[in-house]
Amino acid sequence: MGQVTNEPEVQSWNDLQVSVPITKSLDLITMATVQFGQRLTNVDNVRYSVGVRKDFSDNISVLPFVTFISDRNVLGRFRYEYRYSLMAQVKNEFRGFGIAHRSRFEYRFRPGRNTWRYRPSIIIEKNLPEKLVKGMKVYVIEEPFYDSASGRFSRNRISAGFNKALSRKLSFDVYYLYQGDNFSRSSSTKVIGTAMKVTL
């Protein structure tokens, strides 16, 4: 178990996601991520994910994927982790807002001890008026974590940001995320994140 401190961390998380259609309802999804920590002075985490997303309808999708992670520990050394995940999402609209529930189960192969986590989340998004700005939506996400290592919900993330479509196949996100944690080495983390999403 990590040692929890009251000193907040400031980080930057940056994603590049590429989607490749296989069939009309099946996509190959890959994502590369670089996370800067220690007040943005060091690369603390590098990860690469690959999986397939199956759309059962416009509102229901399932995404199994695997992630390789290289993460800097408290001693400044990188350790490796393999993570196997299954994510399911159900979404709908209510009075002009998009509302989605996403459940994510992950099993973590990591040094010393393998663990699993459950991450349910609620996503609320709203398309901005076209006359104000074209192809942009804003969103808020609430995501608690249940961790088998602690035996309780020991982490919570809340984020807010926007997605801007540059074309039919290219968009980017910018968001702010706050993470509260009573199990890891830092009790709070503040993140400015970006994500570029490409469809081939």
pLDDT in tens, 96-123: 999 999 999 999 998 878 999 999 999 9
- The pair of structure tokens assigned to 152 is 């309780």
By the 10 Å C-beta count (0-12 exposed, 13-18 middle, 19+ buried), 199 is classed as middle
Instruction: Identify the sign of the CA torsion 25, 17, 87, 78.
Output: positive
Given this model, what pLDDT does residue 118 score? 98
pLDDT number for residue 109: 94
Q: Is the pLDDT of residue 4 over 80?
A: no
**pTM, rounded to two decimals:** 0.88
pLDDT in tens, 62-75: 999 999 999 887 77
Q: How many Cβ atoms are within 10 Å of 184's Cβ, its own excluded? A: 19
Cβ-contact 105, 129 below 8 angstroms: no
* 185: number of Cβ within 10 Å: 14
- Specify the CATH number for 9-199; select among 2.40.128.140, 2.40.50.140, 3.40.50.300, 2.60.40.10: 2.40.128.140
Confidence (pLDDT) at 123: 98
